[in-house]
Amino acid sequence: MSPNSATLSPIIEVDQANFQTEVIERSKTVPVVVDFWAPWCGPCRMIGPVLEKLATEAKGAWILAKLNTDENQSLAMQHRISGIPAVKAFLGGKVIDEFVGAVPEPQVRKWLAGFLPGRADELSAEAERQEQAGNYSAAMLGYRNALAEDAEHAGARLGVGRTLFAMERFADALTELEQVPFGGMARAEAEGLMARARFRLEGGPDEAEIRARHRVAEHPDDLVARIALARALAGRDEYRDALEGLLAVVKRDAGEHRDSARQAMLDIFTALGDAHPLCEEYRPQLAAALW
């Protein structure tokens, strides 16, 4: 099979010349399962047809790459092949799972399911495309369908919350985002959105800012009003002005107002994300003011 025709098939042959392109690079966009085999190997002739059948059924969801170890001994050594058939799954340019020997088809299916995208993943990915296009109703439906497949799907739950936030349904967004499972990147994004949602919910940004400005104008030493004004500004995404106001309170007060202002600054850092330039600018200033 030629390299050109390989790109059109879920089953390809690889060797030293095309392994980098067809396995390592391709695995950065789709899982690639490499079957290390040899013509003389009896178990290889058993597992090979099983893998080929499943790859054909998958219709491109993953690629089966067959490598003759007799003809590519250096690759076999490089990948520490000590027994065949050896089957390795590549994703993102790296081996993510493997097995050795001719295992039954049900066991191979279970092995594949451990790293292949499931129905919930597919629905969530399509919903995210709709969300990015601004089709929020379609996105919500897609995310809900994904959650119907997998109630613990972190990406879908985050997507629901993110879409509700974009629709300015901040209370509903907060409810959904609080359900994003802990321990992953989805939760980190959820925390930032939750902080932003809470700022938006604090009385309505316009009204809260007007009240706080009047209070500060009438009572310049009212630190509670200054903190309220800063939080209202954060609700309008005016984060620099908010951080400046809160930092001034931290520097000015050593008691409970300092703690409230410090916490508000931390909430803004969470809303923006650690890599945001304002976080990099104001986090050291907050630390210096506290010490």
Residues 201-234: b if buried by 16+ CB within 10 A, e if exposed: eeeebeebbeebeebbeeeeebbebbbbbbbbbb
Question: Who's near 82: CB < 8 A, 6+ residues apart?
Answer: none
Task: State the CB neighbour count (10 A cutoff) for residue 142.
Answer: 25
Which is it for strands 94-100 and 86-91: parallel, antiparallel or unpaired? Answer: antiparallel
**Catalytic site includes residue 279:** no
Name the active-site residue from 14, 23, 33, 44. 44
Query: Which pair of structure tokens corresponds to residue 127?
Result: 């919903």
Which is it for strands 11-13 and 94-100: parallel, antiparallel or unpaired? Answer: unpaired
Q: Which value, to the nearest 10 degrees, does the dihedral of the CA atoms of residues 46, 48, 49, 50 take?
A: 80
Name the active-site residue from 6, 41, 147, 228. 41
Catalytic machinery residues: 41, 44
